[in-house]
Amino acid sequence: MKQNSPPPRLTLRGITKQYPGCLANDDVHLDIQSAEIHALLGENGAGKSTLMKVIYGLVKPDSGEVLWDGLPLEVKDPAHARKMGIGMVFQHFSLFETLTVTENIALALGDDAGELTALADKIRSVSEKYGMAINPDREIHTLSVGERQRVEIVRCLVQEIKLLILDEPTSVLTPQEVEALFITLRQLADEGCSILFISHKLNEVKALCHKATVLRAGRVSGECIPAEESATSMAKLMVGDDTPVSTTYPKKLGNTPLLSITDLNRHSPDPFGVHLKHINLTVNAGEIVGIAGVAGNGQEELLASLSGEHLCPDGKTITFAEDEVANLPPDQRRQWGLAFVPEERLGRGAVPGMSLTENALLTGFLTGLVSKGLVAWHKAERFADAIIDQYKVKTAGHHAQADSLSGGNLQKFIIGREIMQNPKILIAAHPTWGVDIGAATAIHKALITLRDQGAAILVVSEDIDELFLISDRIGAICDGALSPIKPTPESSIQELGRMMAGDFNRSVNDGSTAL
């Protein structure tokens, strides 16, 4: 460092944090300069989230030192961090479901929130400026996952921040939203704001970040300048040379319908919900159909209709093979052979305070884990252990609570739980959300294996690259209407982007039968 150079905005020296059975951070050193966009890379469970919580005052390190603009700092709590100019967007949402967007952001700002009407106007202005328009009067429970992510981002952007920490901020954003966010982040950096960016999307890191630090097993294992690396070389820094990080899959088209939707219409009772309009779709045995869409365009309503959370009174709109299931509740659909991965991990995919064994039992009870009304706990534990082993879930064991896992590891557990039941039909929302590149490759391979065993798989995702990688046929949903579905090799990212915007005017099959 030059003699007259200013000190780094943030310096970490020797940060160590031990949990029972897990050394989360082990003597971590990190410098983030003013106006620098700095990536933190690592596998799920490498210690990234713990380190972020140390910076934000949520976790006290066992040892080590934090320096802010060259001066020692003990971050007492998140409120203290915010007063210092540190903002954080969490991977798991920290929003109150029954409060409005404005009320949630006011709680985060504390005494600095001011009058709610003025704050609502600021939220409108900031969210529109950054291409993430949000109605500040909406209650959180009416928002999709993607819209909730926008609230988390805007909650930080309305503050006067010097360091913005982003934990997987683009996981549920469309490419257009990601590009708008990147424009904003570059503007913030140009104005002197430092940004710490956690992402498993290495192409994004390469495009955005000035520098990257790599964590492995809680320790700093390397540093790089992303612009000088490839996505593959950065992935190898994260997971080593022995873990596959990319592959391609042959496309297949089935011809035996297993999941059929015929003219599905559903009026949403939620005033902010989306009405489903004449949905027609067939997913055949031995194929993966991918559905893309901007958050809040009917994905949630479609998934609820398919899982059985919402029943369809007209009866014949949904069939599994030739069996009508539109009026069957979730457990009866599972008895038929349905497996379901919801978009929200904690609270829907898993119960936070329950152990992994109990969470495995929640949907795996039909696989011989319950006999005559009694739980065979030793079998349930073996099932949970098998998921942990096969999907390389980093955890203290099957007794660990779901909320003790990192987001990516919990996602691996939920995906594994559903796939290992050998379903006839698998419906998955955002299957690799927040999962590192090695784990994403493993999940994709598991989906392809299940497809090749004859299952019908429907994937609903906002990750277009993922959909093109694994889908045999592909389409989009917009404002509750489903586009034509066509073979993936005959589509393009540009065409799919137009369909996501509602431009369905193409002379192709109507999507109700295989092409």
Answer whether residue 512 shows pLDDT above 50: no
Over range 374-389, report the average pLDDT.
96
Residue 109 belongs to a domain: yes
Q: Are residues 77 and 208 in the same domain?
A: yes
261 with 427: CB under 8 angstroms? no
In this prediction, residue 508 has a pLDDT band, given cuts at 50, 70 and 90, of very low
17 with 59: CB under 8 angstroms? yes
* Domain that includes residue 191, residue range: 10-239
Q: By three-state DSSP, how is residue 512 classified?
A: coil
Instruction: Give the CATH number of the domain where residue 111 resides.
Output: 3.40.50.300
Q: Are residues 129 and 228 in the same domain?
A: yes
Amino acid identity of 2?
K
**Which residues, other chains included, contact 251 with Cβ-Cβ below 8 Å and sequence gap of 6+?**
472, 487, 488, 489
Q: Are residues 216 and 190 in the same domain?
A: yes
For position 433, what pLDDT does the model report?
A: 81
Q: Are residues 273 and 301 in the same domain?
A: yes
Q: Are residues 368 and 235 in the same domain?
A: no
Answer whether residue 258 shows pLDDT above 90: yes
For position 199, what pLDDT does the model report?
A: 87
Q: Are residues 193 and 227 in the same domain?
A: yes
461 with 469: CB under 8 angstroms? no
Considering 195, 213, 239, which residue would you say is the last residue of a domain?
239
Q: Are residues 68 and 94 in the same domain?
A: yes
How many C-beta atoms lie closer than 10 Å to residue 365's C-beta?
A: 14
Over range 144-149, report the average pLDDT.
74
Answer whether residue 168 shows pLDDT above 90: no
Report which of residues 158 and 259 the model is more confident about: 259
Amino acid identity of 177?
E
Q: Are residues 298 and 158 in the same domain?
A: no
Considering 375, 398, 422, which residue would you say is the last residue of a domain?
422
For position 362, what pLDDT does the model report?
A: 94
User: Domains in the chain: how many in total?
Assistant: 3
Residue 5 belongs to a domain: no
Residue 307 belongs to a domain: yes
- Alpha-carbon distances, residue 253 vs 194, 260, 358, 515 (angstroms): 48, 15, 37, 8
**Concatenated DSSP letters of 110-159:** GGG---HHHHHHHHHHHHHHTT----TTSBGGGS-HHHHHHHHHHHHHTS
Q: Are residues 198 and 57 in the same domain?
A: yes
Chain segment 85-115, per-residue pLDDT in tens: 999 987 667 789 899 999 999 998 877 778 9
For position 214, what pLDDT does the model report?
A: 94
Answer whether residue 507 shows pLDDT above 50: no
Q: Are residues 313 and 359 in the same domain?
A: no
For position 513, what pLDDT does the model report?
A: 34
Considering 366, 397, 422, which residue would you say is the last residue of a domain?
422
In this prediction, residue 241 has a pLDDT band, given cuts at 50, 70 and 90, of low
Residue 443 belongs to a domain: no
Q: Are residues 166 and 208 in the same domain?
A: yes
Chain segment 303-335, per-residue pLDDT in tens: 999 999 998 866 679 999 989 999 999 999 999
Report which of residues 512 and 390 the model is more confident about: 390
Chain segment 11-33, per-residue pLDDT in tens: 999 999 998 878 999 999 999 99
The DSSP bridge partners found for residue 224 are: 212
